[in-house]
Amino acid sequence: MADKLSYKVVVNDVKTGKSYNIVVSENHAASLTRTSLGDVIDGVFLGLPGYKLKITGGSDKNGTPMRSDLPGNKRVNLLLSESRGFHERYHGERKRTAICGRVISENISQINMKVTEYGPKSIEECLQPPAES
């Protein structure tokens, strides 16, 4: 029995500096698969109609970060100096570190996004569950 596809999405509101955690599953998660870092997507997939969101990063199920300059969706071991995915402890240190490619696949668990265009409602209003009558 296969697990249902789902992503944890962290949306950053650049105006206020707040971040919002949204769980995306099933059809909306499938529409995010095969997009890459730097792509601008419609906010409807996250329950934010009228918003445009830019994919800025993410990590896989093991916590391995994604890099926008690495093509594909596989995890590879790269020799890194001070850069995204590795921070040196002393000047000139290099280390072989696992890094994920820029394409979102089923192995990715968290996706980071930032708002590029705002919709008519605020993010809080869009994410509130409907009130029961």
Across the range 47-51, mean pLDDT stands at 92
Percent of the chain's residues with pLDDT above 90: 64
Q: Confidence band (pLDDT; 50, 70, 90) for 129?
A: confident
pLDDT greater than 80 at residue 78: yes
Asked, for residue 14, whether it belongs to a domain, the answer is: yes
Whether residue 96 lies inside any domain: the answer is: no
Number of structural domains found in the chain: 1
Question: Sign of dihedral through CA atoms 101, 31, 53, 48?
Answer: negative
pLDDT tens sequence across 12-44: 999 999 999 999 988 889 999 999 999 999 999
Rounded Cα distance, 26 and 101, in Å: 23
- Res. 1 pLDDT band, cuts 50 70 90: very low
Range of the domain at 43: 6-66+103-127
- For residue 21, is it within any domain? yes
User: Residue 120 — very low, low, confident or very high, per pLDDT cuts 50/70/90?
Assistant: very high
Q: Which of 46, 106, 47, 52 is CA-nearest to residue 74? A: 106
Residue 95 belongs to some domain of the structure: no
pLDDT of residue 27: 87
Q: CB of 29 within 8 A of CB of 47?
A: no
CB-count exposure of residue 121 (10 Å: 0-12, 13-18, 19+): middle
* 73 falls within a domain: no
User: Containing H/E element for 125?
Assistant: helix 123-127
* In a domain? residue 27: yes
The model's pTM is 0.87
- Strands of the chain (E only): list them: 6-12, 19-25, 40-42, 52-60, 75-80, 95-100, 108-117
Which residue bears the tokens 């008519």?
120
> Is 43 within the bounds of a domain?
yes
Percentage, residues of the chain above pLDDT 70? 94
pLDDT at 54 over 80: yes
> Does 109 fall in a domain?
yes
